Structure 1
């Protein structure tokens, strides 16, 4: 009986150990992968202040049994919730990133919009957070702003061409500007649209820029249809004055404080062509370059006379294009005592370089002035041109060396006052540009400078 009871006890103990062992194996089995958790830097808040349409968002994730390898995010309200993501996969709704921040430009179709951003962490086993971290963004559209570019104010008077330049901005991103619109004279009438990349506008007579007073109105429109405040040019008053161009000749007055110059050119042009226009730039604000260029295109001939401070930078910008269109130019100027040739300021002209006129002394000195009655003689290249006589003392005179393709057409007469016969006027190879380093109106001591100009127009340029 004792042995039997012992065996029975051993059997029960063995069964207990067997079932205990089975229970230990179930407890030690691997647990299922736990999905990660996701957090946003800002927690959702229905009362979040209305913001602009550019947002910088931050997020992070934690994984209880592994590591976070990236995130998927979306602004699409139609995007279905996902619980898994395969690295390298693409999805029409969700975008993968391994970064924990990004900048978003929220494009909206109405004036104000509410966006909802959702983001999910993805762990190293492809599990995605089943509950997205989300943020609600009520976005208020900021209207664009447009202003005319500094230094581009329209002159008081123009010919039948005007140019305007502007700068447009938008707090929501400049790429949200959908177009610009302008109206001439009447902001309550029809507006004309311009592409959003446009930064300047040129109006001509065919665009409605007829003689009289005009005002240009401008505004920017963003992708939501919101308009900027309207700006106008000129900013006040009853507009700028538009006058018609007269004739084919434009006389550019770049000479300060010498009425004799204006008198000479008016009298000469009255005799030669009668119909011409005058544009004074010396004591005026620097003209907008594009406007000045378009103004020259209204004419076929330009006579530009300047003092010792010629506007060479402007000439170098506009005259090459004018010449390329078949224009002809007579340019006369003086040079300051310390005229700098750095940067080749005369590249636009037939002049290669400027040199001092010096005396015949053993130690040459600069000749600083040319006295009355000194003569300019035509060279053999243009023997039919008139000999010119200095009518009043000329200072700041320099000799000019022609470019290899250009030709000297006037020299100072040989004299004991200077060395050699300095070149004073040159002509380019295309017979389109004549350059004088003396003011032509001061070369009228023999009252034949006007006749000389006529010969240049006929013999060099091919006709009046």
Structure 2
């Protein structure tokens, strides 16, 4: 037997219920604070939604309609932004020119059928503006003294969020009595590194100068010219930051001395020994005797990439600085001091036709520094000792033999057991060999002075103070500097 049943749907009655809108809730729906306890404009906000007959798929938020009626954004406002998130960290916008504000935040849920909460959730945040901050990066500022090129780096931020930064302003040598009397140059908020290059054609009789302004590490030229620069005097660069409400940071300052370039020849002292003053005097006497004027730069207290007398950052500033001269006279007590970076910091200088005389004793260096030294100097390395020998020796009265008809022989007054002979590159110009003595008491003539094939780098590998006074070293230096390297006299 079969039991059959059926349902008569014609007996069902009632009205179809329309989709109900979702509801929206904020974690905080009201904030009452005294003025002195207002919030910073950067706030964290969370919310959620609920739908009685479906589910919430997304939200829309609206910020800053401070004049909106009934403390909610207008339903048809163009300020609503779609989001599927249930939280945000946001910098609430103040009305321009105001330090405090009550900023409206609204959020409304959207259900699975696209229906929006008609009321949403709304709260007014009582906020205050915090001024931005700016300070110079000490690793990106000039040393105590510079010549015509200097770079500066700084960091700017805003407690209300860095997106609240508006712009940066800079000026030179601020008039303390009337700061706004200066020519303040406005920079984009993203600029945090600049370079100044003094214009040699725009210096007045009082030593006041202008400088071209370059932006960023890429040295993009700016339209503005920096005024009010003092040559042979103390200078101060001032920078300040502004936020979107025009609140101003404190003014950061960096002070340093600018020397005026007086020659196209730069004397660099990189000797950090106690005898450095005597070494400098010995070499400058040759320049004076030949009638050569020069600018002087003492870098003996610094080692790249640290120290407080070299421009920072070294790239791009140091190559640009050295390129301001046509010739460099360089002395040091060690191949492992700043000469290690010469290939990098003389790149622009040599590319523009510069020439360089170098006097450093050719003593041993660590293997890790050999490439840096010998890729720059006109040598492939140090001469290897013959089998069974322990060292090369230079005795007093050793002959220094000329390898070029234009220069005379010399004699070494003081001996040395530390100087090493050099192996020239195949295209080097040879100038001097020294008679080294080995333990077996036989002599071997090996190179101590040469220039590269381009004839723009000349290296002398013996402390020149050790040459006898009656040697015609002045003739050698006249040929080296004037004839070979092209130094100019007065």
Could you tell me the TM-score, scaled by structure 1's length?
A: 0.80
Q: CA deviation at 1:119?
A: 0.9
Deviations 1:300-327 (A, max 9, x none): 2110100025213553442112112222
1:95 aligns with 2:90: no
Instruction: Evaluate the alpha carbon distance shift between residue 105 and residue 431 of structure 1 in structure 2; reply closer, same or farther with a 3 A threshold.
Output: farther
Partner of 1:288: 311
1:186 aligns with 2:168: no
Mapped to 1, the partners of 2:374 and 2:20 lie a distance apart of 76
1:453 aligns with 2:477: yes
Mapped to 2, the partners of 1:51 and 1:400 lie a distance apart of 71
Mapped to 2, the partners of 1:405 and 1:133 lie a distance apart of 82
1:210 to 207, 213, 231: 231
Instruction: Evaluate the alpha carbon distance shift between residue 406 and residue 98 of structure 1 in structure 2; reply closer, same or farther with a 3 A threshold.
Output: farther
Q: CA deviation at 1:408?
A: 4.2
Kept in 2, the 8 Å contact 1:71–1:99? The answer is: yes
Instruction: Evaluate the alpha carbon distance shift between residue 143 and residue 292 of structure 1 in structure 2; reply closer, same or farther with a 3 A threshold.
Output: same
Deviations 1:158-201 (A, max 9, x none): 43554433222222333414123122253433043152313234
Partner of 2:261: 245
Instruction: Evaluate the alpha carbon distance shift between residue 348 and residue 184 of structure 1 in structure 2; reply closer, same or farther with a 3 A threshold.
Output: farther
Partner of 1:226: 247
Kept in 2, the 8 Å contact 1:392–1:445? The answer is: no
Partner of 2:193: 199
Partner of 2:377: 350
Three-state SS of the structure 2 residue aligned to 1:206 is strand
Partner of 1:15: none
Q: CA deviation at 1:127?
A: 0.9
Mapped to 1, the partners of 2:139 and 2:298 lie a distance apart of 18
Partner of 1:124: 112
Deviations 1:192-220 (A, max 9, x none): 31523132342524342322333333322
Three-state SS of the structure 2 residue aligned to 1:454 is helix
Partner of 1:332: 359
Partner of 2:3: none
Kept in 2, the 8 Å contact 1:75–1:116? The answer is: yes
Which has the higher mean CA deviation after the structures are superposed, 396-405 or 313-322?
A: 396-405
2:390 to 339, 353, 365: 365
Q: CA RMSD in A?
A: 3.2
Residues 405-444 of structure 1: matches in 2 within 5 Å?
406-413=428-435, 415-416=437-438, 420-443=444-467
Partner of 1:393: 415
Three-state SS of the structure 2 residue aligned to 1:128 is coil
Kept in 2, the 8 Å contact 1:354–1:398? The answer is: no
Kept in 2, the 8 Å contact 1:46–1:136? The answer is: no
* Number of residues of Structure 1 aligned to a counterpart in Structure 2: 425
Q: CA deviation at 1:156?
A: 4.2
Instruction: Evaluate the alpha carbon distance shift between residue 440 and residue 133 of structure 1 in structure 2; reply closer, same or farther with a 3 A threshold.
Output: farther
Mapped to 2, the partners of 1:147 and 1:202 lie a distance apart of 18
Larger radius of gyration: 1
Three-state SS of the structure 1 residue aligned to 2:110 is strand
Three-state SS of the structure 1 residue aligned to 2:287 is helix
1:301 aligns with 2:305: no
Judging by fraction of residues, say which structure has more strand. Answer: 2
Unaligned runs of 5+ in 1: 1-17, 83-90, 235-239
Kept in 1, the 8 Å contact 2:58–2:85? The answer is: yes
Could you tell me the TM-score, scaled by structure 2's length?
A: 0.76
Partner of 1:68: 56
Deviations 1:216-269 (A, max 9, x none): 3332233332222122223xxxxx444333322211111122243122112101
Three-state SS of the structure 2 residue aligned to 1:457 is helix
1:257 aligns with 2:274: yes
Kept in 2, the 8 Å contact 1:357–1:419? The answer is: no
Partner of 2:296: 278
